[in-house]
Structures are given as C-alpha cells and as structure tokens.
Amino acid sequence: MNPLLSVHEVSKQFGGLTAVRRVSFAVEEGEMVGIIGPNGAGKTTLFHLITGFLKPSEGDIRFRGRSIAGWKPYRISRLGITRTFQIVKPFAHLNVLQNVTVAALERSATLREATRVAEEVLEVVGLAGYRDHAAVDLPIGLKKKLELAKALATRPALLFLDEVMGGLTPGEVRDMIEVLKQVRERGVTLCMIEHVLKPIFELCPRTLVLQQGELIADGPTEEVMRRAEVVEAYLGEAISDA
Ligand SMILES: Nc1ncnc2c1ncn2[C@@H]1O[C@H](COP(=O)(O)OP(=O)(O)OP(=O)(O)O)[C@@H](O)[C@H]1O
Ligand SMILES: [Mg+2]
C-alpha cells in the first residue's frame, strides 16, 4: 500500500538560499503529525511545496502514489489536500457563512450544497453563532477558527495547519485542541506546524523537526522533544511557551 503522502528528497532554493534541503517523510492515512522548528526553518515553505503554492527545485511529492510535484494549487486541492495560511486572510467584507461557503463551492456542485457544507463546518469549529458577523470584525481567535472552517469546507483528506494556535490565549488554545480532536474523529489526516508545543504534545503522536531547511528528527513526539539536537535547535526559542 502507498502511504497517503510521501515527500522524497524535496528541496527548494530561493536564489542562493536553500529553504528546504532534501526532506523526505511519509504520512499514513489517519495520522496527526506535528512539525516544529525555529523561525525560518522552512516549515511554511514545505507546506507551500506540498500544496502547490511553490514548485520544488528538486525531489518528488506523491499523494496516494501519484506524483503531484509542481501541480497548481487548485488541482492539488481537488485531490483533497488543503492548507490554512499562517497569516489569516478572509474576504473581509463577506460574513462568516459567506466566507466558508465560497471555500465549499470549490468542491460542491451547487450553492445550496456549499451552504449546507458551510453550516455543518461552522458547527464543528464552534462558529455557528457568528455566521452573520463580518469576517473583518472577528477577534484573532475566531479568525483562526474561520481559517480552519474554510479549509474544512473543501472536505480535505489531508489538511495542513500553519500555526492555527498562533496569537491565541491559553483558553483559546484549549478550545482549538478540542476542535482539532473532532476534526480527527471525522477521518481527516493532519499535519500541523506549531510554535506552541502543548497542542503538539496533546494531539500529535509523531513530530518532525526542521532546522535550517533540514529534517533533523522524525519520531514519537515525547522522544523527539527530548533529543539534545532538538532542544538545542530551540534554545532561546519558543520552548518556554509550551
Ligand atoms: N518567497 C521567498 N523568497 C525568498 N526567500 C524566502 C521565501 N519564502 C521563504 N523564504 C526564506 O526561506 C526560509 C524559510 O522560511 P519559512 O517561511 O519556510 O520558515 P518557517 O519555518 O515557516 O518560519 P516561521 O516559524 O517564522 O514561520 C527563510 O529564510 C525565509 O526568509
Ligand atoms: Mg512559517
């Protein structure tokens, strides 16, 4: 059996800078994988490469055995691979329901079906009570949920979350962890970049560590976090906000 996703020796160069260097890993259906590493380690770039927002300089990316390296984002999204963005960017003047409906339209046959999917997803993330609010007016915690809702509305099999906990209060982090447990229950495979380590410990049995573009660790979360090179990579970094 092919893994759901396999990344093989993928690199990305920006001029003289190698942002991602020969990274290889595979993700099986149903996994929840944490991705950590210091600022500038190449985490977001890796997500861009897998979801088609950037083309790899080298290497191959396979989804269910089929090479998708260099495909356009809309084609990759149609296969069931979706991501959230580190910087949230809803359609400011649409309301919450409309924002999620637009996302749902990508994989729905009719507006009616898209609206139904959007309503269901708003329930899952706990935004149903805000459906008529303008996206621009939401506080950051709810904007992050909206970003997650938009991603879920495309009904992904594989979802990449780029710092969905960033900027949240401890209470909002706890809340988001519960939402993500529900997302997992719905059979979505998740890969999540976080600087906040608590959600990684709670949600992800496995963690990958990137440092200066290289994958320096890949294994059980508890074990990976104890490794000297991981602790070193994080010295002076975000380990204190765990
Ligand atoms: N489009 C680009 N053009 C040139 N350099 C880039 C581009 N995107 C990213 N980089 C560089 O690639 C490196 C990796 O950046 P990336 O955003 O992937 O890091 P990150 O691990 O997501 O960091 P953070 O934790 O701060 O979000 C950085 O040195 C960054 O400046
Ligand atoms: Mg990033």
Judge contact between 61 and 49, C-beta under 8 A.
yes
In 3-state terms, what secondary structure has residue 237?
A: coil
Q: Considering the domain boundaries, does residue 30 fall inside one?
A: yes
Tokens read off for 170: 């401890």
Which residues, 6+ apart, have CB-to-CB distance to 77 below 8 Å? 51, 52, 106, 107, 154
Kindly report, residue by residue over 2-23, the tens digit of the pLDDT.
Answer: 899 999 999 999 999 999 999 9
Kindly report, residue by residue over 162-193, the tens digit of the pLDDT.
Answer: 999 998 999 999 999 999 999 999 999 999 99
Cα–Cα distance, 235 to 167 (Å, whole number): 21
Q: Considering the domain boundaries, does residue 133 fall inside one?
A: no
Q: Considering the domain boundaries, does residue 152 fall inside one?
A: no
Q: Is the CB of 211 under 6 A from ligand 1?
A: no
Cα–Cα distance, 165 to 194 (Å, whole number): 7
> Domain tally for the chain?
1
| Ligand 1 centre distance from Cα of residue 186 (Å) | 32
Q: Considering the domain boundaries, does residue 54 fall inside one?
A: yes
Cα–Cα distance, 24 to 4 (Å, whole number): 14
| Ligand 2 centre distance from Cα of residue 25 (Å) | 19
Cα–Cα distance, 36 to 212 (Å, whole number): 12
Kindly report, residue by residue over 70-95, the tens digit of the pLDDT.
Answer: 999 989 998 999 999 877 777 888 99
Q: Considering the domain boundaries, does residue 221 fall inside one?
A: yes
State the CATH number of the domain containing residue 218.
Answer: 3.40.50.300
Kindly report, residue by residue over 115-167, the tens digit of the pLDDT.
Answer: 999 999 999 999 999 999 999 999 989 999 999 999 999 999 999 999 999 98
